[in-house]
């Protein structure tokens, strides 16, 4: 699992800074060339919507997920924050995030 999470994290870290910023995730989700298999992984591992739009509420869901992921509120997510969040999602801990985003 950890190697899968590392691969996802590195793909999201578009500028290779060692952390993921919100804009990198939204750019990835909005990328017309986004591999459908990778998009499915983002959904299954992180609970992310397959797109982010203000009009349909997916932006609110994304914001709620981001706020849960960015524990220290420094506007970027470290690999440690990322893996802690994914573990929580895998244990079924996304229900509270989905309620907040709705």
DSSP 49: -
CATH for 2-101 is: 1.10.238.10
> pTM of the predicted model, to two decimals?
0.83
User: What digits encode the pLDDT tens for the residues 68-94?
Assistant: 999 999 999 999 999 999 998 888 766
How many Cα atoms sit within 13 Å of 32 on the Cβ side?
0
The alpha-helical segments, DSSP class H, found in 31-94 are: 36-46, 58-69, 79-90
């Amino acid at each position: 699992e950890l190697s899968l999470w590392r691969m996802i994290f590195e793909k999201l870290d578009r500028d290779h800074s060692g952390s993921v910023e919100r804009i990198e995730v939204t750019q990835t989700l909005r990328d017309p060339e986004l591999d459908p298999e990778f998009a499915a992984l983002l959904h299954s591992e992180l609970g992310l919507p397959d797109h982010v739009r203000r009009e349909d509420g997916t932006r609110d869901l994304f914001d709620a997920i981001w706020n849960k992921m960015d524990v220290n509120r420094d506007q970027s997510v470290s690999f440690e924050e990322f893996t802690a969040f994914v573990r929580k999602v895998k244990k079924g801990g996304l229900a509270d995030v989905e309620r907040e985003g709705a």
